[in-house]
Amino acid sequence: MAKLEVEITVNGEQHKLKVGSQERLLDTLRDELKLTGTKEGCSVGECGACTVIVDDQAVNSCLVLTAQVDGSEIITVEGLESKSGLHPLQKAFIEKQAVQCGFCTPGMLMSALALLNTNPTPTKEEIKTALEGNLCRCTGYQQIIDAVEMAAEEWGV
Amino acid sequence: MAFKHVNKGVRRVDAYEKVTGKAKFGADLEFANMLHAKVLRTEYPHAEIEKIETAAAEGMPGVRGVFTAKDIPNNLFGVIVQDQQVLADKKVLLAGDGVAMAVAETEAQAAAALEKIKVEYRELEGVFDPLESRKEGALKLHPEKDDNQVIHHPLRKGDVKKGFAEADVILEREYTTQFIEHSYLEPEAVVVVPNEENHLVSVYGSIQNPYATRNAVSAVLEVELAEVRVIQNHIGGSFGGKDEVVSAMAARAAVMALKTGRPVKMVNSREESFTESYKRHPYHLTYKIGATKEGKLTAMEIAAVADSGGYACQTPFVTWRSVVQATGPYEVENVKTDTYGYYTNNPYTGAMRGYGSPQVIFAQESLMDELAAELGLEPVELRKRNMYSQGSVTASGQKLERHTVSLNEVMSKAMEAIDYKKKYEEYSREQPGDKKKGIGLSISFRGCSLGAEAIDAAASVIQINKDGSVAVYSGLAENGQGLKTIFSQIAAEVLGVPMSEVEFKELDTSFTPDSGSTVASRATLIGGNAIKDAAEKLKGRIMDFAAGKYDFKIDQLELKDGFLYDGQGNRLATFADLTGEMGNTGILMSAYGWYKSPPISWDEEKGSGNPYFTYVYGCQIAEVEVDTGTGELSVLNMAAAHDVGRAINPENVKGQIYGGVMMGLGYGIMEELEVRDGVIQGTNFHDYMIPTIKDMPDIKPVIVENPDPDGPFGAKSIGEPTLELGSAAIANAVAHASGRRIRSLPLNLERVLIGRALHKGGK
Ligand code: FES
Ligand code: FES
């Protein structure tokens, strides 16, 4: 199969890659770039475990071909922590016990990040809408909502 | 008692790894030279295998081997009954049975090889209903057995004939429950590495019960337990579900790792996970209940038939919990209960959060409301007249006296939290329009830990390093529920060190003693006691040493915040200096902890004895709105009050409650794995819907604490009770709102509207 050359920026780092025309962004991240923080839970766009941010939008990386995102800027869960420490969302997820098994967590964080980037003061309903595509079987979601609310508050200041 | 770490909502010790993406789950693992494998599964629920041709598959690019049952040293395994096939040999018993497997350089190559495997089947008739399976003359599914019965548990108390004769009102009702998929977010994944550090095979992955998996792998390979090492990685949810299915996966990978001499990785897709994993048992329940007109129960006669699917799996124990708890938390003089499990050619069923309780509670708590209506009593009142109080005697003849029987307390606290009385009165009045509100409750008692199922003991190891840091090992496994945090808190509390000094280590079966499985909500209770035991042993040594060194009596000394204090609050030494010095003088600074549960008993024939050494009590209340025009059902509010003995970590307990209530909501109103003639219809989340964030009602968790004399710091259980109560509470609320009693789960749209399901296969 012919390989396509793509250039993507992931968590601030540029990558020139040769990918198959049918390669999913999820596989590029996990298998090529070894960024295994992004999870695969269903492969059909139903669970949100594979959510990453592509040019400010939260997307299911299991539904996106890497060739489609040539030239894009991508953020994964590994890109949240910086030299100055954990991101307010990460801190809030820890603080509010929003993590149980942790398998949904990377995707939840990415959807929440996309929300707060465009809407820094979301209502509870807006949080629910932003996270609707992210399934969690452990937490019952309440502490995740609490965490996003807390992050929004901290971030605001 | 003033605690430093226990009873506090301290942060999870594994949260940092999980919010940064650093936590490695099974599918994230990589080893040098690793191969990938896939399993070919049958689509037939019942068929003889006439021929399997693998030659074409073997010649495919990248393929390093194709294997069938004849390559498996010992093809049968199982925790209770060894009837489960690693790969189907002569016969497939359920659609999803593995028949062959291929290992290749890449996953895609392994998958491509499967397409070239030719299997010839001779289709057999199947049995798809346990009520058919139990009939005399039914097709026998396991020819070596007398019939299709997996198990029968009887319980007899008093004389039901006499009891029904004394009754003014007798009700007979039937209830049914559905297949449920665990729906852990992480599909199963393992890697098996051959010949690593003096082990024939090392198994890594998302494994709920490392010792059960080790037992299975060693039995299948026919090698000693010491040759198999299981290391648990982060596990993306389990809820009872990553036991046998993962053991089978590990055993298959182990066979291939030994054949090829290379690490072998297996990761299920969601579809594979749905197809092959075991489910929660559907039950068919018949209840007969008698009561006087004053509302005193006189007799109960119960039969519960569970669908075991193709294998026995955990059915014998699941149905045992049902027999113990089938009457609910009520005093009944005369009881006759029979629970059964039968083989069918349906997906097999096993452990899932609740373990035989959600089914009987749905029936029995629905029935209590039906009886209350019949007697003209309020649901709360009928319960109050019959429910257990201190010193009550259960159906099996156990006197509840060693722990606090807190049903009344959990019930009134839940009622308070949701403003039950006011709402009950309001919604009992005529409501105009199509939209009607209702409120309903359910209560339960639940035996903690394994009970008389098996030996109930667990181990721990605590090691104090020379710098005062503390390493904690447990034989029980983190499943996402927060065990690492709870155990670290207990160790920190006893040793008087900050949480930051405690390091919880991964479970490695070659290092920590076999502690059984992390099931039955037993981790905090049994495993927590084992941690406490090891920590107390070490503390004893430290205090002895310190008393000698500083010339104090032991009771004048205190370990706190990483320091040794005298009775006056003066610091004598840091924990690190003191324990470092002990290490340097040759004192052993590590200890094994062990805890074995107090004695329990069970008479299989009569169904009597003391099956559990302690119980927890819970009450959940649901407030719903039903659109009687469209059938739309919304759960608006829920309250969940649970007596946990002591909350080691209240924030964690709340997390368990929120999660359990939502899983119970899914069980109650949304989820149903449709199985038609043995075949699952829809194997991903667009067909099988679990609750999303939009389905959340407002949930009020209420933690009730009555410390248990046998729990670590008084703690008992929380994981499972949270899920078992919701469906009945919702069903009762729906009946309250609409006047419609639905006796089948899930209470979906059609059932609410017309009282029965519209789609095919509906009851
Ligand atoms: S893996 Fe992409 S949405 Fe589930
Ligand atoms: S924490 Fe386990 S799925 Fe969300």
Q: Which two tokens stand for residue B616?
A: 């927890």
Q: C-alpha distances in angstroms, A147 versus A11, B559, B669?
A: 23, 35, 27
Average of per-residue pLDDT across A42-59:
98
Shared domain check, B571 and B512: yes
- Mean pLDDT by 10-residue block, N- to C-terminus, for chain B (763 residues)? 92 97 98 98 98 98 98 95 96 98 98 98 98 97 95 98 98 98 98 95 96 97 97 96 97 98 98 98 98 98 98 97 98 98 98 98 98 98 98 98 97 98 98 96 96 88 97 94 96 98 94 90 94 98 97 95 94 98 97 96 95 98 94 96 98 98 98 98 96 98 98 97 98 96 90 64 39
What is the rounded CA–CA span in Å between residue B107 and residue B113? 10
Handedness of CA B247, B251, B252, B256 (dihedral sign): positive
Total number of domains in chain B: 3
Any domain includes B180:
no
CB < 8 Å to B280, chain A? none
Q: Residues of chain A with pLDDT > 90: what percent?
A: 96
Expressed in angstroms and rounded, the spacing between residue B47 Cα and the centre of ligand 2 is 38
Is A101 in the B-facing interface, judged by CB distances under 8 Å?
A: yes
Q: Which residues of B501-530 are buried (b: 16+ CB within 10 A; e: fewer)?
A: bbbbebbebbebbbbbbbbbbbbbbbbbbb
- Mark which of B267, B302, B333 sits at the end of a domain: B267
What is the rounded CA–CA span in Å between residue B628 and residue B637? 19
Shared domain check, A111 and A53: no
Shared domain check, B315 and B219: no
CA B489, B16, A109 angle in degrees (round to 5)?
130
| Residue B146 identity (one-letter amino acid) | D
Task: Tell me the residues of chain B between 558 and 587 that have a Cβ less than 8 Å away from chain A.
Answer: none
| The predicted structure's pLDDT at residue B761 | 42
Minimal Cα–Cα distance from A71 to chain B, Å?
24
* Ligand at shortest distance from the CA of A47: 1
Q: Would the ipTM clear 0.95, i.e. be above it?
A: yes
Any domain includes B142:
no
Shared domain check, B697 and B580: no
Is A97 in contact with B235 (Cβ distance < 8 A)? Answer: no
Shared domain check, B241 and B375: no
Which residue among B12, B20, B694 places its CB closest to the CB of A97?
B12
Is B745 in the A-facing interface, judged by CB distances under 8 Å?
A: no
Shared domain check, B514 and B432: no
Query: pTM of the predicted model, to two decimals?
Result: 0.97
Which residue among B27, B236, B655 places its CB closest to the CB of A143?
B655
Shared domain check, B467 and B441: no
Shared domain check, B617 and B506: no
- Mark which of A44, A79, A114 sits at the end of a domain: A79
What does the H/E/C string look like for B217-277? HHHHHCCCHHHEEEEECECCCCCCCCCHHHHHHHHHHHHHHHHHCCCEEEECCHHHHHHHC
- Mark which of A22, A48, A79 sits at the end of a domain: A79
| CATH for A134 | 1.10.150.120
How crowded is residue B654: how many other Cβ atoms within 10 Å of its Cβ? 23
B170, B164 Cβ separation under 8 angstroms: yes
Minimal Cα–Cα distance from B655 to chain A, Å?
6
**CB neighbour list of residue B214: distance below 8 Å, 6 or more residues apart:** B203, B225, B228, B229, B230, B509
Expressed in angstroms and rounded, the spacing between residue B10 Cα and the centre of ligand 2 is 19
Minimal Cα–Cα distance from A73 to chain B, Å?
19
What is the rounded CA–CA span in Å between residue B623 and residue B643? 21
Any domain includes B272:
no
Q: C-alpha distances in angstroms, B594 versus B3, B515, B520, B531, B714?
A: 23, 9, 18, 8, 17
What is the rounded CA–CA span in Å between residue B343 and residue B209? 25
Tokens 């981790």 appear where? Answer: B523
Total number of domains in chain A: 2
Shared domain check, B705 and B608: yes
Is B235 in the A-facing interface, judged by CB distances under 8 Å?
A: yes
DSSP for A35-46? -TTS--S-SSSS
Q: C-alpha distances in angstroms, B177 versus A137, B174, B182?
A: 20, 10, 15
| CATH for B375 | 3.30.365.10
Name the residue range of residue B421's domain. 283-451+603-754
| The predicted structure's pLDDT at residue B520 | 86
| CATH for B212 | 3.90.1170.50
| The predicted structure's pLDDT at residue B543 | 97
Any domain includes B3:
no
* Ligand at shortest distance from the CA of B690: 2
pLDDT in tens, A142-152: 999 999 999 99
Is B685 in contact with A42 (Cβ distance < 8 A)? Answer: yes
Is A128 in contact with B690 (Cβ distance < 8 A)? Answer: no
Q: What is the number of the ligand 1 atom nearest to the C-alpha of A133?
A: 3
What is the rounded CA–CA span in Å between residue B356 and residue B351? 8
Any domain includes B609:
yes
Any domain includes B26:
no
Q: C-alpha distances in angstroms, B656 versus B14, B405, B423, B697, B763?
A: 16, 22, 27, 16, 32
Tell me which residue of B319, B307, B352, B415 sits closest to B182, measured CA to CA: B352
| The predicted structure's pLDDT at residue B533 | 98
**pLDDT exceeds cutoff 90 at A157:** no
- Mark which of B596, B618, B634 sits at the end of a domain: B596
Shared domain check, A75 and A10: yes
Shared domain check, B629 and B592: no
Shared domain check, A66 and A94: no
Shared domain check, B236 and B113: yes
B107, B266 Cβ separation under 8 angstroms: no
What is the rounded CA–CA span in Å between residue B566 and residue B543? 11
> Which helix (DSSP H) or strand (DSSP E) does residue B386 occupy?
helix B379-386
CB < 8 Å to B481, chain A? 100, 138
Shared domain check, B475 and B426: no
- Mark which of A28, A50, A79 sits at the end of a domain: A79
| Helix, strand, or coil (residue B627) | strand
Is B28 in the A-facing interface, judged by CB distances under 8 Å?
A: yes
| Nearest chain A residue to B235, by CA | A101
Name the residue range of residue A17's domain. 4-79
| Nearest chain B residue to A80, by CA | B20
Shared domain check, B738 and B641: yes
Q: C-alpha distances in angstroms, B118 versus B111, B113, B122?
A: 14, 11, 13
